[in-house]
Structure 1
């Protein structure tokens, strides 16, 4: 086994020992086609128009993500990043859900930022700013929501079709009683109006002061909330609870009906990231990117099919926009009304149709000069490789997309800094520029050299939503530890948690390689497995918090009760149980090496909690078929003219009809068709087949 690659973070340790072969993927967009498999087992591009999509409210979380990530993390994390091999940062929901530069336009957004700074600096309460005229009512509604979310201390007023903004006097009064951060968080809590939710202010030892706060909250928000003082460990704080009858203020019947409209559709996109496609559709429809829900993220350099649901848009309106979307590489089909959004992770997996081009053996030499003999040898290599993985599966690594390919600083490095609560270090890692003079790298380089967030914001491309959100916060709060913490808090939770998850994924990849090289390919005492049903008895699982986890006994090892396919390895977190063999020691030492020996896997300042999860050591492709063909003839006559399927026939029945173009024999092309669970990467499956990075 070779050392871990600093580029991919994917160890070169395999489950099969065949020779493999060389080749390349994604030469053409059509070479990588990903089709989501919904919760009912249907390919989303072939489901019936009348079939209701699986949008049930409960869902199984799939570990990342994301991401990239063509995986959806099977874990107790509260987000997923299914992908079908998606891009490095694809594991997270859109960070521009409340990006005012998208909703208002860049110029007005910057004017609003300056207006807010003026309010803070000059301490004036009567200033007012016009955000412009918005004839479309959907656009107006989104302006109101986005401004309140970004600046909870502002209030928006509509004088149709103009929207004006001013400071909320209630916020000003509350901020004189509690801290500014507490006042902002309280107004976000009020604006969200999540039934049954609560908000607790910081400890307050003064009964007189608590009484003043109680009276203010009762006077201004008494119809919406109730307050009470609670004591814990000698400290008393005020907790505010939303009343059951609490409702948004003055919502009309029309607005309520609009909020309840959901439309499902299948999105086919080419050469677009999922979040890029959502941002464009949201702008065209006059809704927020956060109004779109989906089961998983899909790759950019591919043709992908996935289910989506959009809120507040009728099927008719969506159909009217379909022609406009098609010009941007998006095709919508199976458009129909549904009753609820789509939940992240609500899918069985993905179906892949892949083409690997320019096949050749690993050994050096002119593979084209020996004619049929070379093709015969290569064909034997391919058949052995694919059949091995078909029978034995592959090591279930997180793919390089999980960490960010070709980046100076990868996502797991940022995640480690966050877990160590080094907010400044994490920000500087995040803004480390790539080599080159593209606008994004120039902007990052300027920030690293000057520490001037405002100037960097002016240089940063408008498409870089995460970077712009963080820069706005850094401009407002400064670049010290507190300002950097506010910058991370400006991102959606699912975006923040992606980075620590990436670090944990890297540790998991290293762990599985160490497990295979030191303990071999047999199940050992102390390994973790899913508990068999007949063993599922109370008390068997200790305090792991997961009654399905079982520790393999010495007798079970000797009797061969379990196979390697049953073995699980934990993703580091605060609720997982570690193996009770040498791997348990390895995890402890590995985390200590990064300074996390006492890590609680919680970053309270960023509201991050990583409970961990259990991920199967092996994964297997299902419904695998494979074909060899010569691309010149096959592509001229339509793909498949000169291909032979040997996924279901013997090699003795297969003969290669080689073609020549310009006097040179064509290289072979391999077509693969298979299904993977949502926690698996197609590129990692290919890697096991080919014994190299495709």
Structure 2
């Protein structure tokens, strides 16, 4: 059974980069301890715009909303909002998935509703949405940053340690790992399901999604999953699985009607969820490769011959196609790297990925070989709609801003601004250095 100390290695994350002593503590003891706000181009801060007058823009194809949610998955909140307004969840446009156990403010673009009264404000017990104007479209390219307000409780740190950590991180950065929420922390299986889909084992993907459990899940859920793993009976599992397991029950209903239709069972899930499986597997491969390079002593901010690099804008967002570090440009790339003009990248593998040469590329090749896949594997023949071309991700995360403040009762407050697609937990784990990963989602499981 997976233990709390095994979670990081299970998602490919190993070791630390910063030399400072860990301060311990716990994050997300309550959702209000972790507040996230999206910032769009032009400095539009979703939290700052909350409750303000609508933006003065002309009507276009999409209405622009700010969604405030508390302790609910992004996909679930958007599905409820879309249903309330009268459109399909698949037509909603967002910049990215936000933490579940948090209070988050994010933008959502929904098609202009023609047949349902648009009141401009909707709410449920766990989310609230205000229409603030119109927009011609929304995707991750329009996001310039995520702003965080985080409280770490029961930490052990003095002012000098916090100052040293801040200086170290702003100067040298931290590894740009994909965070726990990419994989599922209480049940980190998203990448395992993705691996099985990539390898063409759809039955294995279905059975893993339904049956894999950990000690951290609620007892009724664990019992139902374990019973299914023993019997493999989809009809019986449908009777036993709690109603809260919405996606699992969709798959079970499909398999009860059409035994053996594993592709249909997977396709009963939203396309966004199915793509998350593949993306999570790519993210796992990236994490493992980055962990190997750190273990081998490679510095994040020093280029090696064979590395790939891209230009980055003032928000640390990569753009343009990747270029290769050679003996001719090694010194120049090093200078531009220190100036913050370029970033060393590794692929999150896909069928169009260019695997770099040199030690970092060798690390990724070793991981791919161990997993028994290649970039071509991500052209998924049995489920082509989730095929992935791959992307290039900076290996170094340097905050756009960082402030740390000591509060009463051994609490620490962080004000943090990060580039898009980066995870606050990548920085928090370097600060806290907890071997019990559950501390990053508010669980007082153990004190390791």
Larger radius of gyration: 1
Q: Post-superposition shift, 1:319?
A: 3.6
Q: Alpha carbons of 1:392 and 1:315: their partners in 2 closer, same or farther (altered >3 Å)?
A: farther
Instruction: Give distance in 1, aligned partners of 2:237 and 2:73.
Output: 25
1:353 corresponds to which of 139, 146, 149: 149
Does structure 2 conserve the Cα–Cα contact (< 8 Å) formed by 1:19 and 1:385?
Answer: no
SS in 2 for 1:497: helix
Q: 1:507 aligns with which of 285, 307, 326?
A: 285
Counterpart for residue 371 of structure 2: 594
After superposition, what is the alpha-carbon deviation per residue over 1:193-246, rounded to whole angstroms, capped at 9, x for unaligned?
Answer: xxxxxxxxxxxxxxxxxxxxxxxxxxxxxxxxxxxxxxxxxxxxxxxxxxxxxx
In 1, distance between residues paired with 2:198 and 2:397? Answer: 29
Q: CA separation of 1:555/1:286 partners in 2, compared to 1, >3 Å: closer, same or farther?
A: closer
3-state DSSP of counterpart to 2:211: coil
Output one character per residue of 1:595-634: Cα deviation in whole Å (capped at 9) or x when no partner: 225853211111132211111011111232221121xxxx
Identify if the C-alpha distance between structure 1 residues 629 and 292 changes in structure 2 by more than 3 Å, giving closer, same or farther.
Answer: same
Tell me whether 492-501 or 47-56 shows the greater mean CA deviation. Answer: 47-56
User: What is the CA–CA distance in structure 1 between the aligned matches of 2:72 and 2:375, rounded to whole Å?
Assistant: 41
Is contact 1:32-1:352 (8 Å) kept?
Answer: yes
Measured in 2, the distance between the counterparts of 1:275 and 1:579 equals: 34
TM-score calculated relative to the size of structure 2: 0.82
1:54 CA drift (Å) = 12
1:617 aligns with 2:395: yes
Q: How does 1:181-192 map to 2 (within 5 A)?
A: none
Q: Indicate how the Cα distance of structure 1 residues 30 and 629 shifts in structure 2: closer, same or farther if over 3 A, else same.
A: same
Structure 2 unaligned spans of 5+: 314-318, 441-448
Q: Encode CA deviations 1:544-582: one digit per residue, 9 max, x unaligned.
A: xx9631111124335644437621111122212122213
Distance 1:671 1:315 in 2: 46
Counterpart position of 1:432: 211
* Mapped contact 2:237–2:252 kept (Cα < 8 A): yes
- Counterpart CA distance in 1 for 2:23 and 2:231 is 49
Conserved? CA contact 1:4–1:11, under 8 Å: no
Please state how far the C-alpha of 1:591 moved relative to its aligned partner: 1.4
1-side partners of 2:126 and 2:23: how far apart? 34
Match in the other structure for 2:426: 684
TM (norm. structure 1) is: 0.55
Q: What is the count of residue pairs matched by the alignment?
A: 416
Are positions 1:393 and 2:166 aligned together? no
Task: Report the secondary structure of 1:426's partner residue.
Answer: helix
SS of equivalent to 1:674: strand
Contact 1:40/1:54, CA 8 A, preserved across alignment: no
Matched, 1:51 2:64: no
Partner residue in 2 for 1:330? 127
Relative distance call for 1:431 and 1:455 in structure 2 (3 A) is same
Task: Give yes or no for contact 2:196–2:202 (8 Å, CA) kept in 1.
Answer: yes
Distance in 2 between the 1:345 and 1:459 partners?
Answer: 43
Is the 8 Å Cα contact of residues 294 and 342 (structure 1) preserved in structure 2? Answer: yes
Change (3 A) 1:321 1:440: farther
CA distance in 1: counterparts of 2:375 and 2:46, whole angstroms: 45
1:364-419 superposed Cα distances (whole Å, 9 cap, x missing partner): xxxxxxxxxxxxxx221122112211222211001122122132x62222222111
Counterparts of 1:474 and 1:691 in 2: how far apart (Å)? 43
Aligned residues of 2:293 and 2:363 also touching (Cα < 8 A): no
In structure 2, C-alpha distance between the alignment counterparts of 1:470 and 1:53, rounded to whole Å: 43
Task: Please give the residue correspondences for 1:181-260 in structure 2 after superposition, counting only pairs within 5 Å.
Answer: none
Rounded to whole Å, the distance in 2 between the matches of 1:269 and 1:46 is 15
Partner of 2:446: none
